Chain A
Amino acid sequence: MVKLLLPGLLISSLALTAAYAAGEPNADAYRQMTYGDRDANPALLVVDRGEELFKEKRGPKSVSMEECDFGLGKGVVKGVYAELPRYFKDTDQVQDLESRMITCMTTVQGFDAADLKKKTYANEKANEDNTELEAIAVYIASQSDGMKINPSTSHPKEQEAIKVGEALFYHRAGPLDFACVSCHGADKQRIRLQNLGNFSKAGPDAQKAIGGWPTYRVSHNAVRTMQHRIWDCEGQMRLPDTEYGAPLSVALIAYLAAQAKDGTYVLPGMSR
């Protein structure tokens, strides 16, 4: 179904690109037309696959991920993503969904962390299917569809993570001297035709972005998670590959989720 859908998207995208060439540089209406139908979101197939992987007894210990605690108790998936990142007592760390998945898959299922992190993201240039990690993440996240973005902020370590994330947001480095704020620090900015949210302030921009991730990225023909989003941004800044689920990415995600508080999750998302 995914393969059938794409030629159609490409044709409509070409037609609309031509139509837009004459008007203001803005692709919002095109995106609404192309991605407006939630039931046609190819991510739904990946969500189903993620659910199977989540419930299957897997790993050296042959245990299902239903034995894991994502913050609201063992086996609970409904609403957990809406309150992440949060502090977990057993790891004494603030964790986002994906770092918590690694904890679960290593401690409960017995997988090796280094093995799990060998292949975190599908390579869109090789037209690969989503990885297991991506599928499981979008399944769990989608169980918070329609809920308020409400990351936990009561624990001092959660507050600390948000502050470190904010400082990292302004941290400039690399051959282009960029920080996150270079592109995401003012209203209504664009890189080429791509709108850029202003995440230096709390409110609608952050709510819209965070509320729609994980998302099916049409240009990648794959579902993408927040860990991938951070990795991709760092790559655009010409910095090294981020370490999957490390405190650096978790702190940035904690900051962004705090800026997005009180928005609504519409999951899985669909975007360029």
Chain B
Amino acid sequence: MKKSLLAALALAGLAGMAWAADDDKAIQALVEQYISTGYQQGEKQHLERLKQDETLKTCSETRNKPSNDQMKAIMEREKATIKYPEGNKMLGNWEKGKEVFNTGFGMRVGVIAPDKADKPRGGNCYACHTGDPKEVAAGNIGNSLTGYGKARGSSEETVKYTYEKIFNSQTYMACSNMPRFGHNGVLTPEQIADVVAFLVDPASPVNK
């Protein structure tokens, strides 16, 4: 009797799982449907922005907790996207980098309150990270970067890692919250090199 009870429980469990999977599929289908009707239509809306790549699909489905295999796949795929500045000059000008770090970017689309397309873009890094400790309004979603260069130095290795992390954050952490600034075309390779300098240059307020 015990055996048959166990079997019944197992069956019920399997049925439950199957039902849950069907349910998830139905919900996912509605997600797609609601996205297709949830935004205003027209050229100015840049609806292509709604399209997810493989990486964002995995991150969304796993709620930013990918399996080990998925992590590996994401990090390999994202590393392959990295483009470097001309002459591989990944260390730019820290004063220019400070501007990029502290400037909110444009890129708003639509018809209600769009940004001008030619508005210079920043990284808005301080919205999430402390850089210059004198900036009290810095956010805290990202880790503090104060003293970044002091702690890590400015070796070729550090510069390359920092550049790659900003260009495509998911190279080093699958499903990171941080935007893939270079990969998504928010910042140019040169702007990223300037931010690298802002972080590692001993003269930058980050390291004072």
Q: Which parts of A218-256 form the interface with B (CB within 8 Å)?
A: 231, 234-235, 238-243, 246-249, 251
Once A and B bind, how many residue pairs between them come within 8 Å at the CB atom?
Answer: 136
CA A186 to CA B161, docked complex, whole Å: 27
Which residues of A lie under 8 Å from residue B139 when comparing CB positions?
189-194
A241 touches B28 (CB 8 A): no
Stretch at the interface among A51-59, A168-176, A203-211, A257-265: A168-176
Q: Chain A nearest CB: distance from B62 CB in Å?
A: 9
Q: Could you write out 6 A-B pairs with CB less than 8 Å apart?
A: A125-B113, A176-B184, A193-B137, A193-B139, A246-B37, A246-B39
Q: Among B37, B45, B107, B140, find the residue whose CB has the most chain A CB atoms closer than 10 A.
A: B140
Q: A175-B184, A191-B127, A248-B37 are in contact. Are A238 and B49 (CB under 8 A)?
A: yes
Contact with A along B100-143 (1 / 0, CB 8 A): 00000001111111000000000000111000000011111100
A181 touches B52 (CB 8 A): no
Contact with A along B17-37 (1 / 0, CB 8 A): 000000100011011011101
Is B67's CB within 8 Å of the partner chain A? no
- Which of B45, B126, B180, B186 interacts with A241 by CB under 8 Å? B45
- Which of A21, A121, A167, A182 interacts with B31 by CB under 8 Å? A167
Contact with B along A68-97 (1 / 0, CB 8 A): 000000000000000000000000000000
B112 touches A121 (CB 8 A): yes
Interface size of A as a range = 35 or more
Q: Chain A nearest CB: distance from B17 CB in Å?
A: 17
Q: A191-B139, A192-B138, A247-B34 are in contact. Are A175 and B186 (CB under 8 A)?
A: yes
Which residues of B lie under 8 Å from residue A246 when comparing CB positions?
34, 37-39
5 closest Cβ contacts across the A-B interface?
Answer: A248-B38, A241-B110, A240-B45, A240-B39, A248-B34
- Which of A121, A164, A175, A192 interacts with B179 by CB under 8 Å? A175
- Which of A173, A193, A241, A247 interacts with B112 by CB under 8 Å? A241
Is A179's CB within 8 Å of the partner chain B? yes
- Which of A168, A190, A234 interacts with B140 by CB under 8 Å? A190
- Which of B30, B40, B59, B184 interacts with A243 by CB under 8 Å? B40
Is B158's CB within 8 Å of the partner chain A? no
Q: Chain A nearest CB: distance from B130 CB in Å?
A: 9
CA A234 to CA B141, docked complex, whole Å: 18
Which residues of B lie under 8 Å from residue A194 when comparing CB positions?
139
A-B contacts besides A182-B141, A246-B34, 4 pairs, CB < 8 Å: A123-B113, A186-B141, A241-B109, A241-B112
Is A129's CB within 8 Å of the partner chain B? no
Which residues of A lie under 8 Å from residue B126 when comparing CB positions?
192
CA A189 to CA B30, docked complex, whole Å: 30
Nearest neighbor of A171 in chain B, beta-carbon distance: B60
CA A238 to CA B109, docked complex, whole Å: 7
Which residues of B lie under 8 Å from residue A174 when comparing CB positions?
49-50
Q: A160-B30, A167-B28, A241-B112 are in contact. Are A25 and B49 (CB under 8 A)?
A: no
